[in-house]
Amino acid sequence: MSLRVRAAGPLPASAAIPFRWCPDQVRLDQAKAQLSLREKELETLTAPQDARSADDPGPSKKERDAAKAAITAAEQAVADARTLVDTLEAKLPSAPAYLIRVGTVRERPLYRKRLAQDNALAPPDADFAAALRHVVDTVILAADRPAWHELLARVSDPAAAPHDDAPDIEKARWQEDLNSLADLRALATDHSDRYRRLVAQKEYSNGVWPVIAARMFLVGVENQPEVPFTLDDNGEVSDATLRALGDMVVGIGIQAFALLHLDKVAEKN
């Protein structure tokens, strides 16, 4: 899994300083970015037009009406964006925030050890690919197997996915491959115990790893008096605290995992 932390503020300079993650601050930053974008769109629509030549009749009534409607819609979009920014700014002083310790490089293997102890390691992609190849070799018609093996090789290649500026025909072919892969996965789910076990393990891992990360690296909670922040006998976040945090545990765990895997450059920024 590859994650990049989206910081609501300056990242910590060292693992000794916890990172303060405030979801409402993140939403506010996103709302401000949207407001800036909407303001630029409105500015473009209302910018003075170039002078017309004497023989240029100018836009038709239909075009003028369309331009006026576009400006009205843009003005409303700006107003809505400003309202959202104002609402989030008003909430920010009392918004919940979570203090997450930045794990050290030495704690990365300890984290994986905890996952292994809970049987929560995700199966590697190679295991899924092998299971799908086995389905091709045992379930798919023999005449079709070479084409399916070629498809699996294509979709397994990280460089095979088309870029954003690729021709539409390449994107369409790639989408066809992905649709075929989805069909093969459905077939594997129906006919392969091996594949079903891998899927079950991946789903279990997805549910457990954020909880373990939150348990190991959360060190404080702000503006949530209903959450009793306590530690267990091992010095980690207690079950009572995790239960009180509810679904927020997943977000906290994702942030903790990303902070654990910060590289040195990102850690200094």
Could you tell me the strand order of the sheet in which 19-21 lies?
19-21, 97-100, 218-222
Q: Are residues 24 and 109 in the same domain?
A: yes
On the question of pLDDT at 181 being above 60, the answer is: yes
On the question of pLDDT at 5 being above 60, the answer is: no
Q: Are residues 230 and 263 in the same domain?
A: yes
Residue 233 pLDDT? 92
Domain membership flag for residue 81: yes
Domain membership flag for residue 245: yes
| Tokens matching residue 159 | 């460089």
On the question of pLDDT at 54 being above 80, the answer is: no
On the question of pLDDT at 162 being above 50, the answer is: yes
Q: Are residues 65 and 189 in the same domain?
A: no
Going by pLDDT thresholds of 50, 70 and 90, the confidence category of residue 269 is: very low
Domain membership flag for residue 71: yes
Domain membership flag for residue 70: yes
Give phi and psi for 9, each to the nearest 5.
Answer: -160, -170
Q: Are residues 159 and 130 in the same domain?
A: yes
What average pLDDT does this structure show over 130-155? Answer: 95
Q: Are residues 107 and 224 in the same domain?
A: yes
On the question of pLDDT at 171 being above 80, the answer is: yes
On the question of pLDDT at 232 being above 50, the answer is: yes
What average pLDDT does this structure show over 85-97? Answer: 95
d(CA 141, CA 146): 10
How high does pLDDT run on average in the chain? 89
3-state secondary structure the chain: CCCCCCCCCCCCCCCCCCEEECHHHHHHHHHHHHHHHHHHHHHHHHCCCCCCCCCCCCCCHHHHHHHHHHHHHHHHHHHHHHHHHHHHHHHHHHCCEEEECCCCCCHHHHHHHHHHHCCCCCCCHHHHHHHHHHHHHHCCCHHHHHHHHHHHHHHCCCCCCCCCCCCHHHHHHHHHHHHHHHHHHHHHHHHCHHHHHHHHHHHHHHHHHHHHHHHHHEEEEECCCCCCCCECCCCCECHHHHHHHCCHHHHHHHHHHHHHCCCHHHHHC
Q: Are residues 109 and 193 in the same domain?
A: no
Last residue of a domain, one of 178, 204, 230: 204
Residue 14 pLDDT? 53
On the question of pLDDT at 2 being above 60, the answer is: no
Give phi and psi for 266, each to the nearest 5.
Answer: -65, -35
d(CA 187, CA 177): 15
Last residue of a domain, one of 179, 204, 229: 204
Domain count, the chain: 2
d(CA 172, CA 26): 35
Question: Is the whole model's pTM more than 0.75, yes or no?
Answer: yes
Residue 263 pLDDT? 66
Q: Are residues 145 and 191 in the same domain?
A: yes
Q: Are residues 103 and 174 in the same domain?
A: no
On the question of pLDDT at 8 being above 70, the answer is: no
Domain membership flag for residue 11: no
Residue 59 pLDDT? 77
Residue 265 pLDDT? 38
On the question of pLDDT at 50 being above 80, the answer is: no
On the question of pLDDT at 268 being above 60, the answer is: no
Q: Which residues contact 67 (CB under 8 A, 6 or more apart)?
A: 45, 59
Residue 17 pLDDT? 84
Residue 90's domain comprises 19-47+61-119+219-268
Domain membership flag for residue 4: no
Q: Are residues 189 and 109 in the same domain?
A: no
Q: Are residues 114 and 225 in the same domain?
A: yes
d(CA 29, CA 12): 19
Going by pLDDT thresholds of 50, 70 and 90, the confidence category of residue 3 is: very low
Q: Are residues 115 and 129 in the same domain?
A: no
Q: Are residues 68 and 143 in the same domain?
A: no
Last residue of a domain, one of 204, 233, 248: 204
